[in-house]
Chains A and B, each alone.
Chain A
Amino acid sequence: MSPEAPGADNAPLLVLDGVTKSFGAVAALRGVHLALRPGEAHALVGENGAGKSTLVKILAGAHAPDTGRMALDGGPLELRGPADARAAGIAVIYQEPTLFPDLSVAENIFMGRQPLRGLRRIDTTAMNRDAERLFERLGVRIDPTRPARGLSIADQQLVEIAKALSFDARILVMDEPTAALSGVEVERLFGVARSLCERGAAVLFISHRFDEVFDLCQRITVLRDGAWVSTDRTTDLTVDEVVRRMVGRDVSSLYPKQDAPVRDTLLEVSGLSRAGVFSDVSFNVRGGEIVALAGLVGAGRSEVARAVFGVDRYDAGEVRVAGRPLPPGSPRRAIAAGLALVPEDRRQQGLVMELSVERNATLARRSALSRLGLLIGGAERAEAQRWTRRLQVKASRLTAPVATLSGGNQQKVVLAKWLATEPRILIIDEPTRGIDVGTKAEVHRLLSELANEGLAILMISSELPEVLGMADRVLVMHEGRVVRELSRAEADETSVMLAATGQGATV
């Protein structure tokens, strides 16, 4: 769809003018402007911490702006809560789905708006039928009567989308909705967004994937450090230009893995199997080397990492660290042997969200920092400072809860936590998922430095450019098996993708 599509120059549906919002001393938004026009998809891009999520929360009625003006259809708009936003026709699809696990899928979609029959009772049959119709429109099959608990992230996201569709939103806000979706599902989502636009709705789309931004949106607004930078038509912009505006500098090399001297083999995995999950997985990682574990989601990569680290058991095979066998099923022994695992889901597995930055950063080193079982405050702080400084964690103070940090900074805290244990082998699962371009480059530079210092790094990643840019060797997994090993020279988009989809030769 071209920017000259019908309605491109209509009067804006929703206007934000000079909106500011601060949390304590931290200014999250500083005088942001935004105009959403009917029939148009508008992209909002910026690094993590640029204020996008705060803006979404303001549109959702979850936060009230400190100053500034909001207008809907030219009239002033005041949102006192999420219910007001919904009444104004604003639907929000959050980055992380917000479902009720105990309730049925249909109830999740229609909560508070269930179809009614006599005596204001809920008409369950009609509700399930309506939900089924919404899923038909989306072209997916999810049983509306099943509980939301146990849905995959992608399915949860689809339920959120169905929810937004169900109340014929005039303004649809999507905060990184595609992070967990497959290609087909993304296409469907875009189809829905476009059909909403054709009916005169306005779409606000937030994403780190530029191909999607340029595919869907007619205008792009860039935010940096909470401030508005620019709004332009997509046709007047290039990806390079957008990235430059986001980071305020040229990002010359996104993936700066330097060649490091390769040292002794530190991690040896042979014949590792777990029934139904992965089988006969063998590989080794040497000091100074970054080995990428590539493959489609569900190929068993994270499961292998968890088994190596001792979180999960395995049925057969052996793990050796620097030549010595590592007993299975004990993360404590693994840590003692010099292993560190930075998990994929940092919110649930990597961080205690309510605890402070410094507590989180030193969590894995409690015993080394304590005397007679008591944590020494000073030692804890010094240690936390050392690593958060090296990783350039942006936090208002070290005692702030981790929950208040942006995604990229949270990831840095997880890294700090594990690096503080001074590991010899670092297993890192999706190191830059949901992280902005600038922080991404920082994480990559850091990984490269660590390899240079002699660390053996096993990196699991679904981002192909990251795999190709960072890895000395690429192991491709398909349905629980390592089907291909590629050197840096051999690995390109085609060879990795062919192996990951189960085509091409095996090892």
Chain B
Amino acid sequence: MSLTDTGTPDRRTANPPSGPPRRGLTERLLAVRELSLLLALGALILVTTLRNDRFLSGQSVKDLLLGCAILVILAVGQTLVIVTRNVDLSVGSILGLVAFATGSLFLAAPGTPWPVAVLLGVALGAGCGAVNGGLIAVAKVPALVITLGTLYAFRGIDYYWASGRQINAADMPRSFLRLGNQTVLGVPLLFLAAVVVVAVVGYYLRSYRSGRELYAIGSEPAAARLSGIPVGRRVFAVFVANGALAGLAGVLYAARFGTLDAAAGTGLELQVVAAAVVGGVAIFGGSGSAYGAALGAVLLTTIGSSLAVLRIDPFWQQAVVGALILAAIGLDRLLALRMAARLRGRSAHGA
């Protein structure tokens, strides 16, 4: 017999269920997080526009959308990975390799239709992702270490292949290059592609069983295994999907910049992780959304342009990004604490 067995009043039957169905607490927390990003973005744009009203001119906005599209796609892919308590540091190298491969494809076969180039690029990226996923599954070593290795390995292959050559816009067909700067109703095609990626991945993560399982894996891997989730298979698939998105980003990079050498996308991986973290994707997995990561990527890109408009020394940009990451982490922590306090209040008051 235990002292806890008696005298505890039944606190849970206090309030009968009432009221219309409301949005779940778990979801509301995410919404708060995304809203705060939108507010930060809005404030940044407002301040910059007040200083220089050309910041919101058509061309400037177009440049901004064009500039963030590739980072958005990569950040969304990275979200898939981070949510499962992993990380993929090789995305910059995959992007570089695929971009160079796309250029080489047009050099070798100038008549290749652009959809074929896109498909081949995505396939190559997925192949690289499969290498990552396969190594992680076989070696049972943290993804951080494996992808640090493939970061250099993929880049090494890229350098070996390029051997100092550069591919220029003139080597690629016009139809393909148009992908990089064409607009539909004033919106760059590249940005529309990114929006489609965000919408598809975001909806998948929220509304599909396998998507929710990714959160479960990141939240508590041991429990995920016990509930019969095929953890190894899901993690492998996530790396393949992220690789494919990095491949897509690589093709779009080639279309947008036209000039390609083996160094394309160097160092991009940390920007990508930064965008995801600023966007509220918890680095230890289990929470965050594709929408948040995309907003994080937009915010980071906007900071770059607005600092230029505000005539702030570009050297400060990195410090600002760093401060933003710390602020984002601080905000997450604050939200978590407030949430915890509220939940404590709930169980004390009975619902």
Contact = CB atoms under 8 A, between A and B. Distances in A.
Interface string A28-61: 0000000000000000000000000000000011
Interface stretch (B69-77, B99-107, B218-226, B251-259): B218-226
Nearest to A462: B3
28 contacts: A61-B228, A83-B230, A86-B227, A100-B223, A100-B224, A101-B219, A102-B26, A102-B219, A102-B286, A102-B287, A104-B24, A104-B25, A107-B216, A111-B212, A112-B227, A141-B14, A146-B346, A149-B340, A150-B343, A150-B344, A155-B347, A182-B5, A184-B8, A209-B2, A297-B3, A297-B4, A462-B2, A467-B3
A86 B347 CA distance: 31
A103 B212 contact: yes
Interface of A: 60-62, 81-86, 92, 94, 98-104, 106-107, 111-112, 114, 116, 120-122, 124-125, 128, 132, 139-147, 149-152, 155, 182-184, 186, 209, 211, 294-297, 462-465, 467, 493, 496-497, 500-501
B343 A183 contact: no
Contacts of A102: 26, 215, 218-219, 282, 286-287
Contacts of A142: 12
B21 A150 contact: no
A493 B216 CA distance: 45
Interface in B305-351: 339-340, 343-344, 346-347, 350-351
Given A150-B343, A155-B347, A294 B3 contact: yes
B3 A152 contact: no
A82 B228 contact: yes
A468 to B, nearest CB: 11
Nearest to A85: B228
B208 interface: yes
A147 B227 contact: no
A146 B26 contact: yes
B219 A103 contact: yes
Contacts of B220: 98-101
B351 to A, nearest CB: 5
The 4 closest A-B pairs by CB, nearest first: A145-B24, A83-B228, A102-B286, A98-B223
Contacts of A124: 24
A464 B7 contact: no
Contacts of A146: 24-26, 343, 346
Interface string B250-286: 0000000000000000000000000000000010001
Q: Which of B207, B286, B339 has the most CB of A within 10 A?
A: B207
A104 B212 CA distance: 11
Given A100-B215, A211-B1, A497-B3, A150 B226 contact: no
Nearest to A98: B223
B7 A501 contact: yes
Contact of A103 (B1, B15, B26): B26
Contact of B350 (A141, A182, A186, A297): A141
Contacts of A186: 5
Nearest to A121: B207
Contacts of A111: 212-213, 216, 227, 229
Interface of B: 1-8, 10, 12-15, 17, 21-27, 29, 207-209, 212-213, 215-216, 218-220, 222-230, 282, 286-287, 339-340, 343-344, 346-347, 350-351
Nearest to B83: A102
A209 B21 CA distance: 41
Given A100-B215, A101-B219, A296 B3 contact: yes
A27 B282 CA distance: 41
Contact of A60 (B25, B223, B226, B287): B226
A84 B226 CA distance: 11
A297 B7 CA distance: 11
Nearest to A180: B4
Contacts of A296: 3-4, 7-8
A106 B212 CA distance: 12
A150 B3 CA distance: 23
A143 B346 contact: yes
Contacts of A112: 209, 213, 227-229
A152 B222 CA distance: 20
B2 A463 contact: yes
Contacts of B228: 61, 81-86, 112
Contacts of A125: 21
A82 B226 contact: yes
Given A152-B347, A297-B4, 13 more contacts: A84-B228, A86-B228, A100-B286, A103-B26, A104-B25, A120-B208, A140-B13, A145-B23, A146-B25, A151-B347, A155-B347, A183-B5, A462-B2
Contacts of B222: 98
Contacts of A121: 207-208
B110 to A, nearest CB: 41
Nearest to A84: B228
Q: Which of A107, A147, A467, A501 has the most CB of B within 10 A?
A: A147
B227 A82 contact: yes
Contacts of B225: 62, 82
Nearest to A94: B226
B25 A182 contact: no
A141 B340 CA distance: 18
Q: Which of B2, B213, B224, B340 has the most CB of A within 10 A?
A: B2
B190 to A, nearest CB: 28
A296 B27 CA distance: 35
Nearest to A163: B227
B12 A141 contact: yes
Given A100-B286, A102-B287, A112-B229, A147 B215 contact: no
A205 B223 CA distance: 21
Contact of A183 (B8, B17, B209): B8
Q: Which of A125, A145, A297, A464 has the most CB of B within 10 A?
A: A145
B213 A147 contact: no
Contact of A145 (B12, B25, B208, B340): B25
Contacts of A152: 347
